[in-house]
Structure 1
């Protein structure tokens, strides 16, 4: 499966929302093609390089499909789009086009069945509800509710201020219970660092 890539300094997770301003010709063309075809593009985290200009020299090999949910011309004249995270994928190979757009051969990652939330997840659910009240999070319309461990893990991994390497590890984790365990450990480490 061929997928155009949009390397960013962020890690997108399934079910989560991201607002982007598009101004480079390669991405305006890509968005136009995606909208015509009714398809999405891939968001991968930049490991080395910049978002603007030449394609980054290194990016994550696991990413998340971005599905266009809304678009509008902004006051500054740029195209603003809102995307929602779809399926996770692994990059098998990339090809750099003349306009510096990366086209990737990807393999969709298998999602394990969702697991219902239980009493152990109450604290993390309360944390999500608290995060959802922040004006920045509220504007993303991600919501404070999670139906199962997949949604809870994805939303927390996306919203919490973990570093990109930790977020990538969480994105690569297939098992929703393991993802929540890892988030709990990262939170404990953050608290430990705060009071050290």
Structure 2
């Protein structure tokens, strides 16, 4: 799928998707089923944006101004009218303007934000990467023990524990912080600053 920089459909959710992050979705509303089918047919992503005001179901919600492209990497239709998706975060984007289609699907004209440049973990943050790797390994091991072949990891297949932005993003997904705080981390374009905030949180809560 190619990134888009024009009008894209939006999936407004009570969650924040980060670049490279894995987001499973259960799609059953007609507007979103149509959206997903169109995206798969055209091989394009859709946008995932945190809800600022409103609900996930029904009338189009008011989104935050920054979201993340979601690429469909797998799907299943085990029952009529329900699609199970496995999506992965792509580029972040900033919403320029929105419009609502007759079927209540929200669309946005967007500007793609710069992708994080690969940045090697600094010595003072190596504990962040090492601890994250242990947590991912533990979650995956427990999942395989409990579910066997049915287990799907909540993390990307390829771990980039040497990359500061990747490490900061994965911590931002799993830390028990408010959605608004998670959204601010998504919006922060300064990779070292994003990881420094995560590192300070981990120290304050005695995780490191």
Report the TM-score when normalising by structure 2. 0.84
Residues 25-71 of structure 1, C-alpha deviations (whole Å, 9 max, x = no match): 10011001111111000000012211111111x22100000000000
- 2:153 maps to 1:139: yes
**Equivalent residues in 2 for 1:40-51, closer than 5 Å:** 40-51=45-56
Structure 1 unmatched ranges of 5 or more = none
Q: For 1:171, which of 172, 179, 186 is the aligned residue?
A: 186
1:145 is displaced (CA, Å) by: 4.3
- Gapped regions of structure 2 (runs ≥ 5): 1-5, 144-150
Per-residue deviation, 1:121: 1.9
Instruction: Give the TM-score, by structure 1 length.
Output: 0.89
Task: Return closer, same or farther for 1:16/1:146 CA change in 2, 3 Å cut-off.
Answer: same
| Residue of structure 2 in register with 1:151 after alignment | 166
Aligned residue pair count: 191
Q: Decide whether the 8 Å contact of 1:21 with 1:81 is kept in 2.
A: yes
State which of 66, 71, 75 in structure 1 corresponds to 2:70: 66
Taking the aligned partners of 1:38 and 1:159, their CA distance within structure 2 comes to: 29
RMSD: 2.1
Q: Distance in 2 between matches of 1:78 and 1:112?
A: 34
Q: Give the Cα–Cα distance (whole angstroms) in 2 for the partners of residues 146 and 75 of structure 1.
A: 38
Aligned counterpart in structure 2 of residue 96 of structure 1, from 100, 116, 121: 100
